[in-house]
Structure 1
Amino acid sequence: METTTVVGGARRSRTSEILLLGQAAGLGLVTGMRSMLGVRILAASARRGAFDGQRGSFWRALRSPVAQRALSVLAGGELLFDKLPSTPSRLAPGPLGARLVIGAVLGAAVGTQSPEKNLRVAGAVVGAAAAAIGALVGNRARTWLDRGTRIPGPLAAVAEDAIAFGLGALAARR
C-alpha cells in the first residue's frame, strides 16, 4: 500500500521518493564505473521526455542537440580510453573526486522530480555514495579478474561496460 501525504499543497508518495532515490543510486553506480556514462544516460532519458516536467537551464542544456553530441563523444571516448594500460586508477583522488561530484549532481537532478526539496539533497548524497561504491567495486572486480583469472584486462573492461550500460538502462527507466 502506497502512503501519500500532502505537503505544501503537493501530493507525494513514499514509494515514488524511494524510486527516485533508487534512480539516483543507479546513476551514481554507473558514474562510479564510467564517469560520463551516467550523465549521457540521464541526458538521453531527458531527451526522450522522461523529465518533461523539469524546467531550468540544467534540463534545457541536457536536452539540447549540442549536449547530446558532446556527451556521446565524452562517454564514447571514456569507454575507449578505459581500455588503455596508461589510464589512471579511478580511485586516484582526481578521478574519484570527479565521479563523486558527477554522482552528486545526477542524484540531485533526479531528486528534482519530487516537490520535496530535501529529496534533492538526499539524491545528491545517495548519488555520490553510490558513485564511490561503483568506483570501488568496479576497481576491485577488474583487479581480481586481472590477477585471479586468465581474462585479459580489456575483455574485463568490456564486461564492466556492459554491466554499467545495463545498470544505467534500469536506473533511467521512468
Structure 2
Amino acid sequence: MPGDPSLVPTLVRAVALGAAAGARATLGVAAPVLASAVAPGAGGSDGATARWRTAGRAAAGLAVVGELVGDKLPRTPSRLEGTGPAGRLVSGAVGGVLLARRRGQGSVAGLAAAAAAGATGAAAGTWGGAAWRRLAVDHGRDWPRAIVEDASAIALAAWATTR
C-alpha cells in the first residue's frame, strides 16, 4: 500500500533507478535483471529456468553495453527525439515494478506506486540529463561528459538494485 512506510525505501530506489533509465534507457529493466541472483540448479533437474535467467542477464548486459557505445556515436539522436522519452518512462516504470517485486512489495498498490516513482525518476533523468548534456556541450566536448553521465547512471542503477 502506498501509505505503508516500509514502501518508502523501495520508492526512493525506484526514483533513482528511473533517473538512471532517463540517462540510459536500458538500465531501467537491465539493472534489476543483472542484479538478480541465479540460484544454481534453479528450475528443476535440468536447470532450464537457470539457463533462461542466465541468457536474460547476458542479453541485458549486451543491451546496456550497446547503449553505452551507441550514445557516443555522432549520429545518435537526442534522447528527446521520437519515442525516446516514452521508452525511458516505460523503462523506469518497469524497473520500479521489478524492484518492488524483488523487495517483497508485490501488492497492486505497491507496484503501481513503484511504477509511478520509476516513471517520475525517468522523466527527471530524461529532461534533466538532456539539459545537462546541452549545457556541457556549450562548455566543451560532449564525449567526456557522456562518460560522466554513464558513470552516474550506472552508479544510480547499482545503488537502486542493491539489497
Q: Distance in 1 between matches of 2:162 and 2:60?
A: 19
Q: Which runs of 5+ in 1 are unaligned?
A: 1-6, 8-12, 50-59
The alignment's C-alpha RMSD in Å is 2.2
2:113 aligned residue: 122
Q: Which runs of 5+ in 2 are unaligned?
A: 40-48
Q: Greater relative contact order: 1 or 2 (C-alpha under 8 angstroms, separation 6 or more)?
A: 2
CA deviation digits over 1:37-57, x for unaligned, max 9? 2322211221267xxxxxxxx
1:41 aligned residue: 31
1:160 aligned residue: 149
Any conservation in 1 of the 2:99–2:161 contact (CA below 8 Å)?
Answer: no
Closer, same or farther in 2 for the Cα pair 1:121/1:146, shift >3 Å?
Answer: same
1:101 to 90, 104, 111: 90
Confirm whether residue 142 of structure 1 aligns to residue 133 of structure 2. yes
Any conservation in 2 of the 1:111–1:121 contact (CA below 8 Å)?
Answer: no
Any conservation in 1 of the 2:28–2:94 contact (CA below 8 Å)?
Answer: no
Confirm whether residue 30 of structure 1 aligns to residue 20 of structure 2. yes
Aligned length: 151
Confirm whether residue 111 of structure 1 aligns to residue 70 of structure 2. no
Any conservation in 1 of the 2:96–2:114 contact (CA below 8 Å)?
Answer: yes
Closer, same or farther in 2 for the Cα pair 1:48/1:159, shift >3 Å?
Answer: farther
Q: Distance in 1 between matches of 2:57 and 2:108?
A: 28
1:3 aligned residue: none
Any conservation in 2 of the 1:111–1:122 contact (CA below 8 Å)?
Answer: no
Give me the TM-score of the superposition, normalised by structure 2. 0.84
SS of residue in 1 equivalent to 2:76: coil
Any conservation in 1 of the 2:22–2:126 contact (CA below 8 Å)?
Answer: yes
